[in-house]
Amino acid sequence: MFKIWSLLSAMLIVIPGWAASKKPLKENPVFAEWTGPYQGVPPFDKIEVDDFQPAIEGAMKKALAEYQAIADNPEAPTFSNTMLPMERISLDLERVMLLFSIWNSNLSNEEIQKVEKDMAPKLAEFEDQVVQNKKLFDRLDTLYKKRTISQWSPEQERLVWDYHQSFVKKGAALNKKQKKRVAEINKRHAELTTQFSQNLLVDENEDHLLITNEKDLKGLPQWLIQSAKQEADKRNKKGWVIGNTRSSMEPFVTYCPNRDLREKAFKIWTARGDNGNKSDNNKVINEILKLRAERSKIMGYDSYAHWQLSDKMAKTPQQAMQLMMKVWKPAIKQVDKDVAAMQKIVDKEKGGFKIAPWDYRFYAEKLRKARYDFDMDSVKPYLQLPNLQAAMFWMAKELYGFEFSKLEDIPVFHPDVTVFKVTKKNKTVGLWYFDPYARQGKRSGAWMNAYRIQHRISGDVLPIVSNNSNFVKAGEGETTKVSWSDAETMFHEFGHALHGLSSNVTYPSLAGTSTARDFVEFPSQIHEDWLSTPEVLKFLTNDEGEVLPQKLVKKLKRAASFNEGFATTEYLASALVDMKLHLIEKPDVNPKNFEKQTLDDLGMPSEIVMRHRMPQFAHIFSGEGYSAGYYSYLWSDVLRHDAFKAFLEAKGPYDKAVAKRFQKNILSVGNTVDPGQAFKNFRGRAPKVKALLQSKGFVR
């Protein structure tokens, strides 16, 4: 996931008074053009939090004036007097917003959250002022209508189409009264989505599981015990505190043998945003849904889902639903089989209970051990961060000819961040920033950011990308080791980075990762597949320098699709609920009832709950990036498995010709080509689902 600037992290308790920067705008480092080597780099060493609000407001004001100048141009609209200046305005705005999103995701605090809360409705208002500028849209519309008879390049034609459809999608073609209502809706919507995230944060920060009896730590991994101790110290509590975040709660319910504690933890975790208190999200959700449906109706769509999918690769909700149901059925069948096997373990142990959601992960681990004699933790000593990084670099060279060399003296926002120059045949391709470790104020999970988008509208501009994750940093003198799924995440995010670095287009709006949401995870997901190639596994050594033993590799591969029934079911339950929610034409939803009814109708196994229950489903309620779009991961996954097969059908994962074709047709084209066509250009045909089902072990 990347580029969701409204997603918050860290504490929200009291909002202090706000002091804006006294610097003149020209000297404001957030607002100013970047200077330094490599065509300028982010001025991380100069920024103060007080700079953000004036910079964002200044950037919006400047942009509005510039848009108005385009609109007021007495000359007839042309590509160069309309499209080009609009592209330049976006670049300036994005530069400012990007720096704010970096602080918001990596160094958040109360001040940053205050800026977000103040700015979210203003940004929504700003966007509407641009989209609803009639003279501006008329120019765009004129260009759009003559795009087929013009002498433009295919990329220019696509750019005009892209702007036009996104203006129309946001209501540019509506009448005055409709526009007014849409603007009201958008402003309120922005307030509500910010409210949703901030409510969620309250529950994630404040609720927790306190353990006071040392005996209850039995079975937990050492690192979890350590972090629980630290968490308790931080909160001035005696004992151990399991924080209310996925990275603490999930391992806790996976390893804690005490069933009552598992239940307690699981209930705290799945009740985020649903506690009937001040931070309850249920009413917020209902209002968001109502506004979304109303706005989609005004835009002329049957439902929000129809509106949202109109510019996606899937194109219609039906197409997305069809794919989801194709995978849902074999997934729940697999769950039935796994639950039966787990129940046998419970019965053999004379447990005297039926597997409940808080038991699933715990008994799945037991089943994994019984079936494959394999413990995921046994590979961890071989997953040293520096080795994984070296392996990723090696992969990038082998596939795309990219070479990485570390740079010193480039400003960073935290001492843990490292910067690399990326070259191909000695020519600089771009920069890659890496921020691997968890810290206070950094949002959870892993993501990629495009710090600067590749383009050629003012010289040959180099892309700058970053990868950020939340690995637990090792103590002094030790090497950081990560889990297998963390390693997959590293390759995944690096895939997004390679997508950004491979970009080779003219117009920034169409560059790099600016593709349809249901396509963008494809270039990242496919790179996960290179992690388990023998060439990469050779890089993985333990502290003694021994390579990951073949015996473990074999077990790892045999167990690769284990628990896919669970993972697919919990994910798809969320994706299906997301789509069905947004298909309602006149929503008035009680989230609890809706979840229950929808999941009952789908035949959801009672031993599993949704990966994200509605009151905590930040993907779809913290903003609009993934709303009616959570299916995107599955959609991209189909493309990923089918595309990787193209390598296997040739000489293997490092087949030079296929890699070249992949980079040329998928990684470098950004959004200059329709995503369905781009896939066909690479694969020679439309994508097939079979490779995905095989990878999950659902079919042979």
Interacting residues toward Zn ion by CB under 5 A = 521, 524
Residue showing tokens 């307030």: 191
Cα within 13 Å of Cα(305), Cβ side: 25
Q: Read off the amino acid at residue 385.
A: L
Rounded Cα distance, 112 and 287, in Å: 26
The CA-based angle 621-622-626, given to 5 degrees, is 65
Phi, psi of 429 (to 5 degrees): -105, -35
**8 A C-beta contact, residue 110 and residue 45:** no
Query: DSSP character for 242?
Result: E
Rounded Cα distance, 526 and 644, in Å: 7
Nearer to Zn ion, 111 or 570 (CB): 570
β 464-471/447-452 pair status: antiparallel
Nearer to Zn ion, 338 or 624 (CB): 624
DSSP of 476-514: TT---B--HHHHHHHHHHHHHHHHHHH---S-GGGSTT-
Nearer to Zn ion, 520 or 599 (CB): 520
Q: How far is the CB of 578 from Zn ion (least distance, A)?
A: 17
DSSP of 572-612: HHHHHHHHHHHH-SS----HHHHHHHHHHHHT--TT---SS
Q: How far is the CB of 654 from Zn ion (least distance, A)?
A: 23
Is 585 among the residues known to form the active site?
Answer: no
Q: Is 431 helix (H, G, I), strand (E, B) or coil?
A: strand
Nearer to Zn ion, 54 or 512 (CB): 512
Rounded Cα distance, 347 and 168, in Å: 60
Q: Read off the amino acid at residue 7.
A: L
For the chain, give the longest Cα–Cα distance.
84
Nearer to Zn ion, 95 or 517 (CB): 517
Residue showing tokens 């009937």: 276
Nearer to Zn ion, 42 or 523 (CB): 523
Catalytic residue among 94, 493, 570, 595: 493
**8 A C-beta contact, residue 449 and residue 416:** no
Rounded Cα distance, 698 and 515, in Å: 30
Nearer to Zn ion, 53 or 622 (CB): 622
Q: How far is the CB of 489 from Zn ion (least distance, A)?
A: 9
Q: How far is the CB of 686 from Zn ion (least distance, A)?
A: 23
Rounded Cα distance, 220 and 222, in Å: 6
Rounded Cα distance, 334 and 231, in Å: 37
Helix (H) or strand (E) holding 208: strand 208-211
Q: How far is the CB of 443 from Zn ion (least distance, A)?
A: 14
Rounded Cα distance, 114 and 104, in Å: 10
b/e sequence 445-460, b meaning 16+ C-beta within 10 Å: bbbbbbbbbbbeeeee
Nearer to Zn ion, 528 or 607 (CB): 528
Residue 88 to residues 144, 341, 510: CA-CA distances in angstroms? 19, 60, 13
Residue showing tokens 């080779």: 504
Q: How far is the CB of 118 from Zn ion (least distance, A)?
A: 29
Phi, psi of 430 (to 5 degrees): 170, -170
Q: Read off the amino acid at residue 312.
A: K
* Separation of CA 154 from chain center: 30
Nearer to Zn ion, 521 or 642 (CB): 521
Return the residue nearest Zn ion (CB atom).
Answer: 524
Please state the three-class secondary structure of 445-486 as a single string.
CCEEEEEECCECECECECCEEEEEEEECCCCCCCCCECCHHH
Q: How far is the CB of 679 from Zn ion (least distance, A)?
A: 18
Nearer to Zn ion, 521 or 637 (CB): 521
Nearer to Zn ion, 496 or 580 (CB): 496
**Start-to-end Cα distance in the chain:** 31
Nearer to Zn ion, 31 or 494 (CB): 494
Q: How far is the CB of 633 from Zn ion (least distance, A)?
A: 8
**8 A C-beta contact, residue 445 and residue 454:** no
Q: Is 432 helix (H, G, I), strand (E, B) or coil?
A: strand
Please state the three-class secondary structure of 133-192 as a single string.
CHHHHHHHHHHHHCCCCCCCCHHHHHHHHHHHHHHHHCCCCCCHHHHHHHHHHHHHHHHH
Catalytically active residues are 493
